[in-house]
Chains A and B, each alone.
Chain A
Amino acid sequence: MVSNMETNPEADQLREVNRLRAATISESAATPRGGFAIMAVAIAAFFGGYQWHSRVYDVVAPIVWCAFVAGWVLWLRHGKRAIPGRPARTAHEWRRDAAVWIGLFAAANGVALLGSRVSWLLAGVLMAALSTGGGAVAAWRARHP
């Protein structure tokens, strides 16, 4: 037995609609090759730099860091050929997402506090792992809405 979905032209059109939507969502969630790796190295370097205990670094690093992040975001955005839509979220989903961000913020501060007691470089590596792990999960979720 052959089902309707396998035989008629309307079903073919629906399949094509789904294929094109999936391709677009995938493109909008994609990051340029090396995007995460560059950020991971930059995070490790940024925190690792505090190892020097330099007053100049303390002043210059946050400024350079903000400029780097702005450039990185622009680069990611420019590399895409489909800009993702803003998903419609329920109140429950807003609360859940806010809880995730607060949790990540707390975890990052904990890592920085504890890791820096051992070594700022260790703190940097742990922060890089945390942020790239979180970024990878967020990208996966965007590709599989």
Chain B
Amino acid sequence: MGNELDAVIHPPKRLGAMAMLTAARWVEFSFLRENLDVTDSDLSKQMSALCDAGYATVRKHGRGPGSRTWFAATPAGRLALQRHVAALRAMVEQAPIAPD
């Protein structure tokens, strides 16, 4: 398994979203939005990119104002995050230590 950064989840918002999705089975849209500190449209765009890449899946409950949108990480998404985090860790370990 190579330690390479994943282009799809490299942007911080998508990385954060994947971190949240892999910590639970399903995560609700508003919880993602609040924790990632993004707007509805921005989050929709980021989640669409993750779904298009096959890293996340979406499920909608209800209709109208009370409807809720849930997201889950797919096995491919979990693996991608695992590899991406391993690559980040390798970069941290290899980085030169800053002087005092």
A interface with B by C-beta (< 8 Å): 1-5, 7-8, 10-11, 13-14, 16-18, 20-25, 27-28, 81-86
Contacts and interface: CB of A to CB of B under 8 A. Distances in A.
B23 A20 contact: yes
Interface in B34-88: 35-36, 70, 85, 88
B31 A14 contact: no
Nearest to B87: A10
Majority secondary structure, A binding face: helix
**Range of interface residues on chain B?**
20 to 34
A14 B92 contact: yes
B21 to A, nearest CB: 8
B23 A25 contact: yes
Interface of B: 12, 15-16, 19-20, 22-28, 30-31, 35-36, 70, 85, 88-89, 91-93, 95, 97-100
A86 B25 contact: yes
B87 to A, nearest CB: 9
A25 B97 contact: no
B14 to A, nearest CB: 11
A24 B91 contact: no
B27 A82 contact: yes
A21 B97 contact: no
28 contacts: A1-B97, A1-B99, A1-B100, A2-B98, A7-B98, A8-B92, A10-B91, A14-B89, A16-B12, A16-B15, A16-B19, A17-B15, A17-B16, A17-B19, A17-B85, A20-B35, A20-B36, A21-B20, A21-B22, A21-B23, A25-B23, A27-B24, A82-B20, A82-B27, A82-B28, A84-B25, A85-B23, A86-B25
